[in-house]
Amino acid sequence: MSYTYTVQKAKVNRVTYRVMGIIFTVIAVLQVITLVKGYSKHPMLTGMFAFFLGAYGIYLIRMSFRKQAFDITYKFSEEGFLVTHHYGETLYTFDDIEVVTMVIADENLIFYVLNLKAGKDVYSIPFTMKGALCEKIYEFVHARIKHKDEDED
């Protein structure tokens, strides 16, 4: 038995992150130029503003290239948990998965989130209008992972 679920990501979101990051970085560079040329009346405040704006611009650009910014396919099978993303595939065995939780974010049971922690990787998988699939996957994974309270017995 296996379950496959794909989370689609819109390309426009990645482009927007990159454009906004470039705009913030350009504004920061222009602020530094005014600071160096001596046109700034408050050099310390302008320097801090430029630093934080530039750092946030770089952060936005960097976040547009992360694995979660692209389409991801999750496959849950008896071998483990396979994540197929833009940069390749990652296979986790059920021994690697430390925690699995299911969050029902909407009281009308429309929006579910499945959280998986495997090593230092954390996956929050959104399920919109697919609550039954989320519950099946949660039960499937939860039955196969090691629980800390079982190890103590």
Q: How far is CA 152 from CA 40, 135, 142, in A?
A: 64, 27, 18
Residue carrying structure tokens 């996957």? 137
pLDDT at 54: 97
Listed residue (112, 63, 68) closest to 90, CA to CA: 68
Token couple for 6: 């794909």
Give residue 152's pLDDT.
53
pTM of the complete model: 0.76
CATH number of this structure's domain 71-151, picked from the four choices 2.30.29.30, 3.20.20.70, 3.40.190.10, 3.30.43.10: 2.30.29.30
pLDDT exceeds cutoff 70 at 110 = yes
Burial of 24 (0-12, 13-18, 19+ CB in 10 A): buried
Q: Of 49, 6, 76, 148, nearest to 40 (Cα)?
A: 49
pLDDT of residue 149: 60
Q: How many helices (H) and strands (E) does the chain have?
A: 4, 7
For position 46, what pLDDT does the model report? 93
Domain limits, the chain: 10-63, 71-151
**Strand ordering across the sheet containing 97-104:** 97-104, 111-118, 121-128
pLDDT in tens, 129-139: 888 898 999 99
For the cut 80, the answer to whether the pLDDT of residue 96 exceeds it is: yes
